[in-house]
Structure 1
Amino acid sequence: MLTLQGVSVGYGGAPAVLRDVSVTVRPGRILALTGSSGAGKTSLLSAMAGLLRPRGGAVSIDGQPLRDRDQAVEHRIVLIPQDNGLAPILTAAENLQVALVAGGVAAREARQQTAAALGQLGLSGQADQLVEELSGGQQQRTAIARGLALRGGVLLADEVTSELDVGNRQRVLNLLHEEARRGAAVVFATHDPEVAAACEAELHLVEGRAEVVRG
């Protein structure tokens, strides 16, 4: 379980982007993180992922203070970033396999899990293509496939349906719900009200504050 208590985040000497945010991300549920562009969705996800140290308050995972990204990885906090974070000179399949092997999965099993994950996102035909050869939507789906293949206890997804058509957007939502059903705590940052409405809970960011809309 991921908990934020009175968290404030910001960059350098600039004013805080968000102040006094408290929320608990529970296993088996999807929390939609909403707000306009610049409201702080990515910053809050970065704090949840151990990439951004809060200015105030505390982030904890399973009752332990979250110090940094290394500890977040140890606790199986997976982040699917908005910019996809893929290596463009590797193939779609290689991007998944490298991440899985780095996480301790044996090479043969990594290949099997990679094929399954890409298949779920309709990317079996693109497995051996370089990422830089893929369309924006295909790159986004590859990043999602990698995040799902890692099977985190907490899955953080940052605007991961922004470049997808209606069919693939629904496919991704279904897969995120499957992750929640297997017991993962899922946080999905989105500006799409229809996508947010499909989640069990919603935390809305506005003017540096966070308010629980549902859940």
Structure 2
Amino acid sequence: MKTLSIADADLAWDADLTVLRGVTVEARPGQILAVTGTSGAGKTTLLSAMAGLLTPARGEVLVDGERLTNRDQAVKLGVVLIPQDNGLAAILTAAENISVAVIATGGTAAEARRRTAEALEPLGLSGQANQLIEELSGGQQQRTAIARGLALQGDILLADEITSELDAANRQRVMELLRAEAARGAAVVFATHDPEAAAACDRELHLGDGEAIWVRN
């Protein structure tokens, strides 16, 4: 499995506005790293850089020593992102959203069917597999996005506020699934504003006032 690291990086979407300064962080195989902070603190910005969607203004993102420069490269290196806005295609079913992603990353049609079923079942979505995304509730859509991320079986899993629309039982279920991902050797990064969820992670990096401060490392 792979390690993702950022060393002394400045992250900015606009040249005139740096969101985070001097960030140094390492996502390690077999561990869950919580990234915490209030809304607007830069959690999504940090995960975007880790996912290859944002090039640091200073510093670099490395996956096992290889510099990350774009999203396509990140996908090839096994970096999976579950975005906050779910990123699902509304005109496809829950199962189709997952299967298409598996095939796009090199899986066969048979593998896509198997991984889709295996990902939907623990999230309580087997009964919604053939429903269109637009027919699902917000919580069901969020769980479908999580299932898609899990089905990709990446070396590095980035999860951005993925429990925000879930009830307590489903939040607990998702935390158990993230723990299972770490147990198989993935490096998991979980951005959350939930202190209880963060406490269940192995390490915690808190973002505030443009800086990243280790709470537990």
TM-score range, shorter chain: over 0.9
Instruction: Measure the CA separation in 2 of the matches of 1:191 and 1:146.
Output: 22
Instruction: Measure the CA separation in 1 of the matches of 2:198 and 2:168.
Output: 14
Aligned-residue CA RMSD (Å):
0.6
1:135 aligns with 2:137: yes
In structure 2, the partner of 1:210 is 212
Structural mapping, 1:24-43, within 5 Å: 24-43=26-45
Shift of 1:115: 0.8
Residues 69-106 of structure 1 deviation map (CA, whole Å, 9 limit, x = unaligned): 11101110000000000000000000000001111111
Shift of 1:113: 1.1
Identity of aligned residues (%): 66
* Matched residue type, 2:108: A
Q: 2:191 aligns with which of 186, 189, 194?
A: 189
* Matched residue type, 1:139: Q
Shift of 1:14: 3.0
Any unmatched runs of 5+ in structure 1? none
Instruction: Measure the CA separation in 1 of the matches of 2:150 and 2:17.
Output: 35
In structure 1, the partner of 2:112 is 110
Instruction: Measure the CA separation in 2 of the matches of 1:158 and 1:38.
Output: 13
In structure 1, the partner of 2:10 is 8
Query: What secondary structure is seen at the aligned counterpart in 2 of 1:96?
Result: helix
- TM (norm. structure 2) is 0.98
In structure 2, the partner of 1:164 is 166
Instruction: Measure the CA separation in 2 of the matches of 1:13 and 1:205.
Output: 20
Instruction: Measure the CA separation in 2 of the matches of 1:70 and 1:107.
Output: 21
Shift of 1:53: 0.6
Instruction: Measure the CA separation in 2 of the matches of 1:143 and 1:90.
Output: 13
Shift of 1:11: 1.6
* Matched residue type, 1:179: E
1:76 aligns with 2:78: yes
* Matched residue type, 1:200: D
Instruction: Measure the CA separation in 1 of the matches of 2:66 and 2:105.
Output: 21
Shift of 1:109: 1.8
Give 4+ residue runs of structure 1 displaced > 6 Å after superposition.
none
Query: What secondary structure is seen at the aligned counterpart in 1 of 2:60?
Result: strand
In structure 1, the partner of 2:19 is 17
* Matched residue type, 1:196: A
* Matched residue type, 1:111: R
Alignment: residue pair count? 215
Instruction: Measure the CA separation in 2 of the matches of 1:17 and 1:58.
Output: 15
Instruction: Measure the CA separation in 2 of the matches of 1:195 and 1:109.
Output: 32
